[in-house]
Structure 1
Amino acid sequence: MIKMKILMLPLLQSILLFGFLEANCPVYLTVSLTGKTLQDTFLEVNWGPNCYGPPEWIGIYGQDPTTSNFQPELRIDGIENSTGKMITPIKLGKLRFPGGWNRQDSEEQPATRYPKGKCLPHFVASYKGTELLTVDCLKIQPNWMTQIKYLNKVPLKKIFLPGTHASGAFTGSSKKSSSILVRDYLVAQQFDIWSQLVFGIRYLDFSIGYKNMNTETDSDNFWIANENMLITPLVAILRDVHQFVKRSGEMVVLDFSSFPIGFYKHPEIYSSLFRLLRQELGDEAFQRNVAKDEHCADRNFGDLQQQGKHLVILFPTQELPYPENESNIICPSWRRFSTSFMNISQTLDYMRLLFSRKPDSPVRDDGWIFTAVRSMEQTLNAHKLETAKERAAVLNPKVNQWLKGPWGNNANVVALDYFSNTNIVDWAISVNTHKAFIMANKDFINLELFHLF
């Protein structure tokens, strides 16, 4: 009973915190899906979902408005809807990360740890008259997993991992693609792999193609693929992942999910890819107990830390010959669910089925991946060929909003095209903080805080 009383104070604090967030109106910035280059892309301001009372006005700033009486670069008045999104005329500009988090920054000095993320020079504040209500910013989250107390005790299958679909199919930061096909239909992310990880993405989805480049190096033959076309070489991406986890100490799940080009009936090519992964990532890959047919999703971040490892590599082991199919550095694929061929209404129904965890739900007590995307074929069925950005601009805000209800608490991996027009990383951090608190105190109290409101 004494322990119960001691725990009631942080419990009540958590209840008050979540209650305050519900009663308030969150306002945040995302990166819109406009602009032919990343630097020319406009920021967008978001509020909600379901604000009880929208602010009277919102200001966009280039500096923290709480430190001085700055005038906003943009003022938005007349907000009436309880949920909304508005593209601003303010461009993202050249992206440079603080604290040693640029890819090219020297590793002689350790990168700065940011317990609550680090703001880039784009802030948003909401007001009632002259009263400041909320402040947020466009931020990087390079250390969020290691900063959440007790999260390392939560099984991977219980952690909400924000992810990207077709992670390696990204556009350059400044160069305009000469191919409309690549730019509009094959590219699926605005940020490269390094930037995705610095912003807080912790699950990467790779579709791999093989093409013999007639070079002496076999690694040159493996490419990121999307929509059955080759996009960019793989090996540089693997090295970015390796460099990031060494610098950050964070955990990342790599899912080699499909092999649409060059692999069919060629087990030797699967073996060659496996050897590349072992060469580039083997020293950071979690080593599972193959003899016990261990499920990697049952382990936790702390188990990886004890091994000094930071990567979980998902791979279809059945495609590899013996003994490579029993390698301890790869984990069998997790269950995947996709909305590729669904419209918005069908997606909502499908999420209700999956995230409810009811007896008829196909989600079981194992690692699972929800890929919220719309395929090119699906838009053709609707008699309108939409670009990848147009599809994500419609679907992502809906999925982002639906996850902010009780469903988000049941999420494992959620992967999106163009994740940057959502705040899925911030929400995952909020949900995982709650999960870690419950896990740490499960022997004393069994309350689902989200269900109290």
Structure 2
Amino acid sequence: MKTKILILLPLVQSILLFGFLKASCPVYLTISPNGKALYDSSLEVNWGPDCYGPPQWIGIYAQDPTISNFQPELLIPRVAIVNKTGKIITQIKLGKLHFPGGWNRQDTSDPPATRYPTGKCLPHYVASYNGTELLTVDCLKIQPNWMAQNKDVSRMPLKNMFLPGTHASGAVVNRTSKSVLIKDYLQAQLFDVWSQLVFGIRYLDFSVGYKNMATNDDSDNFWLVNENMFLQPLVGVLRDVLRFVKRSGEMVVLDFSSFPIGFYKHPEIYRSLFYLIRRELGDEAYQRNVTTNELCANRNLQDLLRQNRHVMILFPTQELPHPENESNLICPPWLRFSTSFMNMSQTLDYMRLLFSRKPESPVKDDGWIFTAVRSMEQTLNSHKLQTAKERAAVLNPKVNQWLKGPWGNNANVVAMDYFSNTNLVDLAIQLNAHKAFLMANEDYVNLEILNLC
């Protein structure tokens, strides 16, 4: 007689974990892009997805409500939680932002910045209750060291990781700018690149333009652009990336995705840009094996750290003249997919195609980038010109919600405008832990033990 026993404990634990999360009513904070400036932006209370048992009330606090009986700054009753998934934009402002533990840009490295592998709360908390019973608590948090949280994540190929990213990462308005065009239609992020990285973003999308500034330093001629307008010099942003990876020990994927101004039929300008990147980031750039035409997305975080490298640079090598096009400091671009010209229904169908990973999906076994954005032209086609903030306010929560289902397990890079009105980083951390858990325990699933009598 044979008895077949399936050892499924890790899989059962995973199912129970995600079943519990789905059955509960998660509540979290995000930042609305509705303010005229960063400090004037409002906090958003979010709940769901699939909040079947809403709490009796939700409170927002300026201090951790688990350590004392503080009074909430704002109380939201159950009657306001009308859907299974939703959000409320509050009147509470973000205020002046200060990062703890040495994570402000101007902080020195002496003493070293505090490591926060599980995140560090800023003074904005949200908690849900039934009567006086605390159900959930969360906070607005920075995640400067989240990749160190789970050692199994560092063993995953980059193509299997969920990397939270930003689109038009450098499209941040200077405080002195008075241009309505820039503020309403060209700005794409509330936070500068340094702050994006501190919050946990690990993929940056750079569109670069060339403008002759008539200076002795050619690096002054390279600017980050959006919608074909110059926004800020590139070199300062590259130095922020370098400063961050040295301080954090984290890995960042840097994607030079487009070159809309000044590059066409000018390989010498591409070469000058390559020299600038090599000068600023060469000591931290991952060195791929060019003789085997290595796919950089097959590497994992451990591979980079073994080289003591923390930046992976994606660059269209075919635009560079020889021998720069064979440099081991740059990786060929990953596949890119965008929702720029799609309405919400088309976006949902497109995500279903991409994230299903079925044979008909254009996603292949390599690194790929999903850019969840809507362009100005798309809103013009719908006979209403929306600002960039309005577009992100509609699109981001939907995409974020859809990724919380099974699709998120197939995500690689997800890049957004105004990522701060989602919990994209927390979502990526949770799903990477789930992926790493399954990868580390895959040998224990469906193991047959035969008992011969």
Give TM-score, length-normalised by structure 2: 0.95
Query: What's the offset of the Cα at 1:113?
Result: 1.2
Equivalent residue for 1:403?
403
Q: Which residue of 1 aligns with 2:103?
A: 101
What is the DSSP-based 3-state SS (H/G/I as helix, E as strand, rest coil) of the residue aligned with 2:282?
Answer: helix
Of 264-273 and 436-445, the range deviating more from structure 2: 436-445
Equivalent residue letter for 1:206: F
* Helix, strand or coil at the partner of 2:433: helix
Q: Aligned pairs, how many? A: 440
Q: Decide whether the 8 Å contact of 2:11 with 2:445 is kept in 1.
A: no
Give the superposition deviation at 1:401: 0.3
Q: Deviations over 1:111-149 (max 9, x none)?
A: 111121000000000111111110000000000012222
Gapped regions of structure 1 (runs ≥ 5): 448-453
TM-score, scaled to structure 1? 0.95
Is this contact kept in 2: 1:140–1:198, CA < 8 A? yes
Secondary structure (helix, strand or coil) at the match of 2:443 reads coil
What does residue 255 of structure 2 align with?
A: 255
Matches for 1:351-370 after TM superposition, within 5 Å: 351-370=351-370
The answer for the alignment partner of 2:115 in structure 1 is 113
Give how far 1:12 is off: 4.6
Q: Give a deviation string over 1:319-368, Cα, whole Å, max 9, x none.
A: 00111000000000000000000000000000000000011100010100
Deviation larger for 268-277 or 112-121: 112-121
Map of 1:122 onto structure 2: 124
Aligned ranges 1:23-422 → 2 under 5 Å: 23-77=23-77, 78=79, 79-172=81-174, 175=175, 177-422=177-422
Distance 1:432 1:101 in 2: 24
Label 1:176 to 1:384 Cα distance change in 2 as closer, same or farther (>3 A): farther
The answer as to whether partners of 1:54 and 1:81 remain within 8 angstroms in 2 is no
SS at match of 2:183: helix
C-alpha change, 1:152 and 1:171, in structure 2 (3 Å) is same
Alpha-carbon distance, 1:33 to partner? 1.2
For 1:46, give the aligned amino acid: N
RMSD (Å), alpha carbons: 1.3
Structure 1 letter corresponding to 2:240 = D
SS in 1 for 2:350: helix
% identical aligned pairs: 77
2:32 maps to a residue whose letter is S
TM-superposed deviation, 1:231: 0.6
Task: Indicate the residue corresponding to 1:450 in structure 2.
Answer: none
Structure-2 separation of matches of 1:121 and 1:87: 18
Q: Deviations over 1:59-100 (max 9, x none)?
A: 000000000000100000112321111001100000000011
Give distance in 1, aligned partners of 2:168 and 2:82.
Answer: 37
Describe the superposition over 1:1-41 as per-residue Cα deviations: whole angstroms up to 9, x where unpaired.
Answer: xxx96x83x65544332222111000000000111010011
CA distance in 1, matches of 2:110, 2:118: 24
Q: State the shift of 1:307 in Å.
A: 0.4
Query: Aligned letter for 1:100?
Result: G
- Whether the aligned pair in 1 keeps the contact of 2:117 and 2:147 (CA below 8 Å) is no
Amino acid at match of 1:214: A
* Counterpart contact for 1:153–1:302, Cα < 8 Å: yes
Deviation, structure 1 residue 177: 2.8
Q: Distance in 2 between matches of 1:441 and 1:99?
A: 35
1:55, distance to aligned residue in structure 2 (A): 1.1
- Give the alignment of 1:424-435 within 5 angstroms: 424-435=424-435
Are the equivalent residues in 2 in contact too, given 1:205–1:255 (CA < 8 A)? yes
Residue identity opposite 2:35 in structure 1: G
8 Å CA contact retained: 2:117, 2:144: no
Q: Is the 8 A contact 2:271 2:320 kept in 1?
A: yes
SS at match of 2:438: helix
Work out which structure has the larger RCO, using CA pairs closer than 8 Å and 6 or more positions apart in sequence.
2
Match of 2:3 in 1: none
8 A contact 2:186–2:226 mirrored in 1: yes
Question: SS state of the match for residue 443, structure 1?
Answer: helix
Q: CA deviation at 1:176?
A: 5.5
